[in-house]
Structure 1
């Protein structure tokens, strides 16, 4: 069975504590996973942030919403207990408790509508219909923004001049910790006039090893002959490491050519190039920072 959305989890959460006995949140999470017969893989599936499992996050938000609606109480840290209103919801409420249904309770309505005014309301997910938790919606929005940024960044690189693309390659290698100083890296990546190699860059500041580079600002797919030519040039140089960077992509044959060699050859296509540029803050700047905070349980520990 697939991992249920957090609204589908709400009634089972109430049922799990229906006997009125306070239940640890950790035990509640296990019970809900058992109710939905989740596989071991599904129980371990994590949010895009990697900070928490999906099912634990959804149970946590279900608990929060039910608590804000007065159907659950949190008698002690990490505990959950049903209320009289919660019992009534089990007895006469719907089979699937939703955000819309919870809005009949004034305290929940106040909680749910207490948010800053949004300029573009059409762009906001309707939380009454959403199947994901706020954490997941935030992560999905972040990933969408990152993908859009990477696409725009790659378009800019493809439209740049060959000399600027060479600078991008140098700056990226430096940002990733290679090449020593900017001046040294710039010299190292000047054309070597060796068929199949565009430049050489130090692997570290001491120059204990070097990396041979090939950079192609292409729109068309890079095929195997280009990789074979690069590998041949590396072999003639007795090189051990090479990086082939393109703004396009690699054919299956090209990827296969780089496998199973004594020489380590890394292929970086346009998508990976843009991702690395974003990761290392190359050609991008921080637009806005949001901090998502949580309770520091250690602060409240009296032990």
Structure 2
């Protein structure tokens, strides 16, 4: 799991505890080991696609502690702990966060200036802890809000359509995700309507058709309970299938999600929210209305050691 920028602060400062000058690359590598990050974690991009989430969080950790006077930059992309930073580490803090940094006058002044300039939205907890959101956090939160609104609108529209539309939607989505070969091939593998506003069908696992996946889709408003999933698994066993996808416009109960099939049968449960998330990711029922660029400082450019 990628640490947020506040979680990066203490291990970042500890890396400087020896009083030597350390490069950003050294510090990042130390944090990668500290948090046991995978290659996937390290490469995960921010929604802006301008930099990775990890690099951004480390960069903001550095900026906040530098504004508090805990570290200094003797030269570009080189960092050294200050006397104030050493004194803080001598207290053996359990963590360093923005609430703690607010005790430093220089940081408090920077926060006040940033708040006046950016005017971020706050809640009561943020007010009490004097927390300011970074630009990347603000942008990501706005992106999530817009995406959630779009997903809710998609789900409402799906529920207003007839079962045939839902059948076609499921096929298009699975083909877009790489299943079933061509759209015509996938449509031809649907084996009949169940009569309960869902579809039962078989689709190729890949374009080569090396394996088949059995599909159960229910356009429901009610929660799908465990017995429904068990019946689906029974249908799989009856057809000698080992892989299945259960899609619903509603949601699955806890019991349904915790049910573990036997006999090497594997199933994937996709609820209404996840269905709409996939539709957005694979451009099913949505299109890009417009795009715009948001310019900001390239941290990697200024942190480069060359």
Fold in common (TM above 0.5): yes
**Structure 2 CA distance, aligned partners of 1:135 and 1:190?**
47
Q: TM-score, normalised by structure 2?
A: 0.64
- Contact conserved, 1:43 with 1:53, CA < 8 A, in 2? no
Equivalence for 1:166? 167
Displacement of 1:64 in angstroms is 6.5
Q: Shift of the alpha carbon at 1:77?
A: 1.8
The answer as to 2:283 corresponding to 1:281 is: yes
Q: 1:213 pairs with 212, 215, 229, which one?
A: 215
Number of equivalences:
265
Residues of 1 paired with 2:259 and 2:134: CA distance? 44
Deviations 1:136-183 (A, max 9, x none): 333333333333332232222222221111121111101110011111
Deviation at 1:28, TM superposition (A): 11
Find the partner of 1:24 among 16, 22, 26: 22
Q: What does the per-residue CA deviation read over 1:172-209, in whole Å, with 9 as the maximum and x for residues that have no partner?
A: 10111001111111222251669996111111222221
* Local SS of the residue matching 1:288: coil
**Aligned residue in 1 for 2:250:** 248
- 1:228 is aligned, of 227, 230, 240, to 230
SS of equivalent residue, structure 1 residue 248:
coil
Structure 2 residue matching 1:191: 3-state secondary structure: strand
Whether the aligned pair in 1 keeps the contact of 2:20 and 2:80 (CA below 8 Å) is yes
TM-align CA RMSD: 4.8
Q: Report the Cα distance in structure 2 between the residues aligned to 1:4 and 1:99, rounded to whole angstroms.
A: 23
Larger Rg over CA atoms: 1
The residue that corresponds to 2:185 in the other structure is 184
Does the 8 A contact of 1:234 with 1:242 survive in 2? Answer: yes
Moved more, 196-205 or 234-243: 196-205
User: Which stretches in structure 1 are left out of the alignment for 5+ residues?
Assistant: 34-39, 87-93
Q: Which residue of 2 aligns with 1:296?
A: 301
Mean Cα deviation higher: 247-256 or 280-289: 280-289
**What does residue 103 of structure 2 align with?**
96
